[in-house]
Amino acid sequence: MSLISPACRDALQYWLDSLSALAARSENTQAAYRGDVTEFLSFMTLHHSERQGLAALARINVSDMRAWMADQRSAGVGARSLARKLSAVKSFYRWLAEREGFEPTAVLSTRAPKFTQKLPRPLAEDAARAMIDTVELQSSNDWISTRDVAVVTLLYGCGLRISEALSLTGSDAPLPGSLRIVGKGGKERIVPVIPAARTAVDRYLKLCPHPQSQEKALFRGVRGGALNPRAIQGVMAKARMQLGLPATATPHALRHSFATHLLSAGGDLRAIQELLGHASLSTTQAYTAVDTARLMEVYNRAHPKA
């Protein structure tokens, strides 16, 4: 038997539908929200020894919230993950309270645990170049090698998320001088395409055995379907082991490397924000901390008085 009452299950679905319609949340974000709120509602059912209807949810108090937070921490949920879960619960409650007409203060006033913001972990410039070169050596099949190189070149050369690179279709080829990318939250941005990326994609298209069409994915798997991101994650995992790079050398690290290397070369922070598609400049400012940390490392290693 489900731990969630039909009324709560319906309300959760209505909320997710409203997010999809109004806020253009991605499928991954909605799936995470669904999981977080479902887990919260299930806990409340067990905590009160009965399924929680909408009226019962309106009576959740500070003690209930503390019990949930304590249960999450005892289960090994980290501060960052718990803050994300609490954010999803608050968002759902804010919507539900407005819809049902109750006071959600007990939930909305719950403080998220403090955590240290993780800095991006970019690759060094020579490591990023070595990664692309080594990815090419991971397959004996030429078209697969050129495909993998094309994808990682787009990640590093254009600062794309892997989902953005793999969402390109045949209508985007041959790559123009700039791409219109739809990122998180439906936010659009224009990204310049460097010649190396265009050349890498052209090489792939010449060797790809699967016919291209305007609607189908640009990057194909072995059987001709859309390329799964796990394939790129896997090939990069093999390459980083050969290069002796840490586990943080992932496809997303190439996007971090794109931003960090631009900043190191004198790139404008606002321009980098636009290229990455960050809604807030504060997100992009994390890269200034990375650059400062690198400068301090050089200073401490090289200055006679350090």
> Shortest CA distance to 231 belongs to which of 140, 147, 134, 137?
147
Catalytic: which of 93, 156, 204, 287? 287
Identify the active-site residue in 161, 203, 240, 256: 161
Q: Is 270 a catalytic residue?
A: no
Residue 48 bears catalytic tag: no
Q: Which of 80, 184, 216, 294 is catalytic?
A: 184
Question: What secondary structure does DSSP assign to 219-270, as a single string?
Answer: SB-TTSSBPPHHHHHHHHHHHHHHHT--TT-SHHHHHHHHHHHHHHTT--HH
Judge whether 252 counts as a catalytic residue: yes
Distance CA 233, CA 77 (A): 25
Q: Residue 275's closest CA among 302, 300, 256? A: 256
Catalytic residue among 220, 255, 256, 261: 255
Distances (CA, A) of 52 to 33, 38, 42: 19, 12, 9
CB 186 within 8 A of CB 159: no
- Establish whether 161 is a catalytic residue: yes
Is 287 catalytic? The answer is yes
**Which of 25, 147, 220, 278 does the annotation list as catalytic?**
278
State how far the alpha carbon of 77 is from the alpha carbons of 8, 72, 92, 113, 186, in Å. Answer: 24, 5, 20, 11, 30
State which amino acid sits at residue 258. Answer: F
Q: Which of 84, 121, 216, 252 is catalytic?
A: 252
> E strands within the chain?
178-182, 188-192
Q: Are the CB atoms for 85 and 55 separated by under 8 Å?
A: no
Helix, strand, coil content of the chain in percent (nearest 5): 65, 5, 30
26 neighbors 185 (Cβ within 8 angstroms): yes
Active centre residues (catalytic): 161, 184, 252, 255, 278, 287
